[in-house]
Amino acid sequence: MSRYAAFVLFLFLGFEIYLSQGIEVKVNDKDDKLCLYANLMVNFSVEYETKDNKNVTAEFTIPDAFTSSGSSCDTKTSTLKINFGDGHSWSVNFSLSNKTYQADSITFSYNLSDSTIFHDPLSNDTVTVNTQPHISDVVMDTCYSCKSKEIFTTDAVSQTLWNVLIQAFVVNGSKSENITSCSADIPVTPTTVAPTTVTPTTHTTAAPVTNVTTLPPTTPTPTPPPAIPPTGRYSIKPDENSTEACLLADFGLRIGLKQGEKYEEMNLDTNGTKVSGFCGVNNSELVLEFATVTMVFSFINESQRFRLHALNVTGKMSSGVAFSEVNTNLSLWETALGSSYMCNKKQNDTITNQLSLFTFDLRVQPFGVKKGVFSTAQECSGDDTSILIPIIVGAALAGLILVVVIAYVIGRRKTYVGYQTL
Ligand SMILES: *[C@@H]1O[C@H](CO)[C@@H](O)[C@H](O)[C@H]1NC(C)=O
Ligand SMILES: *[C@@H]1O[C@H](CO)[C@@H](O)[C@H](O)[C@H]1NC(C)=O
Ligand SMILES: *[C@@H]1O[C@H](CO)[C@@H](O)[C@H](O)[C@H]1NC(C)=O
Ligand SMILES: *[C@@H]1O[C@H](CO)[C@@H](O)[C@H](O)[C@H]1NC(C)=O
Ligand SMILES: *[C@@H]1O[C@H](CO)[C@@H](O)[C@H](O)[C@H]1NC(C)=O
Ligand SMILES: *[C@@H]1O[C@H](CO)[C@@H](O)[C@H](O)[C@H]1NC(C)=O
Ligand SMILES: *[C@@H]1O[C@H](CO)[C@@H](O)[C@H](O)[C@H]1NC(C)=O
Ligand SMILES: *[C@@H]1O[C@H](CO)[C@@H](O)[C@H](O)[C@H]1NC(C)=O
Ligand SMILES: *[C@@H]1O[C@H](CO)[C@@H](O)[C@H](O)[C@H]1NC(C)=O
Ligand SMILES: *[C@@H]1O[C@H](CO)[C@@H](O)[C@H](O)[C@H]1NC(C)=O
Ligand SMILES: *[C@@H]1O[C@H](CO)[C@@H](O)[C@H](O)[C@H]1NC(C)=O
Ligand SMILES: *[C@@H]1O[C@H](CO)[C@@H](O)[C@H](O)[C@H]1NC(C)=O
């Protein structure tokens, strides 16, 4: 009984947190019925150059005074737009397909002329950046919920989102009580999860779980579970003046290092990661500098296919052990040019005898990025077991039939010696 009371109290408190701190937006359709609901927290960190040639970082959030003009709902697409301050805006585009909806892009515009945020900037332009969120496969008529922090980094801008509750395509004007949780919120419970929930259609490994309203409490500032590193979103632009990315990479990273008898693993935190690199015609490079580790991913484009061909990892493990491991002869994530490579399940790749690389929720495109978003994905084989199993079964059956036919033919030949037709 008391346990039940504590649970109800938690639900109440959880709800209270949403109401008291988040940015709440309600968008109505033309019949004045609720069609999009959002309650979320977002922090921005923007690096800009000042007139005296210093790079400084401005940190700000959406103030209580904002408007939602520009938001709209349609049957298959909808837009959440939040306008604040002197010409800043933050918007998310959603689309609906089948029985699920997803967020296609986040567009953030900031006005460098706003002297309350940017002091003495070199430029007075309004800058727009596009990122691709990981809000997908949200079951229709449920709210997407993500209490965990998600960080989107493009070279000058970092956006941190947390305590997110969004429902696009609200049915009949009332927000759903059912929840689709993001994968970061779902505690890693080995094997014992009963498959009772409704599973969304595609992308099974990354798919959020529906209706898990009874999740254990996450504190307002949760740290991701040690089991899975946070998914970072990194992008490179062709030059400082372009608005669209030419290289995109989303992944959570972990490295495993062997030193003599000792083996240590370390998750790489997206917080404060410095992103650099370049895009070329035949070579592209992504450099990620975490607090203690620097990773250089070199991609190559050869006969209409790209692959990760070199990885250079240097740094210090949390135990203080310094290391430097390079392999310039890799063939990972190989995909046709014009596509992106995707692998949602955990991947373990041996880089050197000492170093293993683990990736989670991987999606990369080092060449041929169009409009700043990923092209069609080619998925790693392990992601598609649902397709693979029937193929294997089918192939086994075909093999069996062939064996039977051959045995029959041989049998006939033994019985009637000579060349008789069957
Ligand atoms: C968001 O920004 C505010 C003010 O800059 C800061 O106090 C807070 O710690 C930030 N929260 C996160 C989660 O980064
Ligand atoms: C500021 O950042 C830009 C772009 O990252 C870079 O080109 C420039 O050299 C930096 N300036 C200083 C003074 O660090
Ligand atoms: C940017 O800020 C400046 C100064 O506050 C203002 O005059 C200008 O209208 C703003 N730009 C936009 C696009 O709102
Ligand atoms: C988002 O939707 C709005 C309105 O439908 C559209 O004008 C805008 O181009 C879209 N943005 C992206 C990045 O697709
Ligand atoms: C809709 O679902 C069907 C079957 O579940 C699938 O074949 C089709 O590709 C899906 N369409 C989209 C746009 O996802
Ligand atoms: C922005 O900068 C340009 C040139 O640097 C200047 O001509 C213009 O007056 C500035 N605009 C504002 C609103 O400060
Ligand atoms: C939640 O989902 C269940 C099963 O999908 C459905 O029966 C129920 O009506 C939903 N509840 C609400 C409030 O939408
Ligand atoms: C989803 O939650 C609602 C109550 O919030 C419950 O009535 C329903 O049975 C649940 N559906 C599933 C499939 O667990
Ligand atoms: C970016 O724009 C500035 C000012 O418009 C210009 O001086 C600079 O050369 C441009 N850089 C590139 C790489 O095009
Ligand atoms: C990110 O880094 C900043 C400063 O380095 C720190 O204050 C903040 O707590 C960190 N956030 C997380 C989630 O680790
Ligand atoms: C790997 O990176 C380190 C540090 O950035 C550098 O000293 C080393 O030369 C690089 N090795 C290769 C083969 O590129
Ligand atoms: C990763 O792969 C290496 C080599 O195949 C293997 O020795 C190691 O046990 C694997 N690690 C994990 C955690 O699966």
Is 352 a pocket residue for ligand 11 (Cβ < 6 Å)?
no
Top mean pLDDT of 9-13, 211-215, 315-319, 371-375 is at: 371-375
- Tell me the CATH number of domain 232-379, given options 2.40.30.10, 2.40.160.110, 3.10.350.10, 2.30.30.90: 2.40.160.110
- Statement: residue 318 has pLDDT above 60: yes
Name the closest ligand to CA 328: 11
Q: What is the mean pLDDT of residues 346-355?
A: 92
Name the closest ligand to CA 120: 6
- Statement: residue 220 has pLDDT above 80: no
Give the pLDDT confidence score for residue 417 in this predicted structure.
54
Name the closest ligand to CA 358: 12
Q: What are phi and psi of 121, to 5 degrees?
A: -75, 150
- How distant, in Å, are the alpha carbons of 49, 69, 98, 129, 342 from that of 103? 31, 19, 14, 16, 18
- Taking the centre of ligand 11 as the mean of its atom positions, its distance from the CA of residue 82, in whole angstroms, is 44
Cα 17 from Cα 25, distance rounded (Å)? 15
Delimit the domains of the chain by residue range. Answer: 2-185, 232-379
Same fold, 2-185 and 232-379: yes
The per-residue pLDDT of the chain, averaged, comes to: 81
- How distant, in Å, are the alpha carbons of 131, 257, 344 from that of 250? 11, 22, 10
Give the pLDDT confidence score for residue 151 in this predicted structure.
85
Q: Does pTM top 0.85 for this prediction?
A: no
Q: What angle do CA 385, 387, 392 make, to 5 degrees?
A: 85
Percentage of residues in the chain with pLDDT exceeding 90? 50
- Taking the centre of ligand 5 as the mean of its atom positions, its distance from the CA of residue 378, in whole angstroms, is 17
Q: Tokens in use for 390?
A: 């029937």
**Best residue for ligand 6 mutational test, from 86, 112, 124, 127 (most atoms within 8 Å of Cβ):** 124
**Best residue for ligand 5 mutational test, from 95, 137, 201 (most atoms within 8 Å of Cβ):** 201
Is 213 a pocket residue for ligand 8 (Cβ < 6 Å)?
yes
Identity at 7, one-letter amino acid code: F
Give the pLDDT confidence score for residue 112 in this predicted structure.
94
Is 197 a pocket residue for ligand 7 (Cβ < 6 Å)?
no
Q: Domain 2-185 falls in which CATH fold? A: Porin (2.40.160)
- Statement: residue 340 has pLDDT above 70: yes
Is 199 a pocket residue for ligand 8 (Cβ < 6 Å)?
no
Q: What is the mean pLDDT of residues 391-406?
A: 69
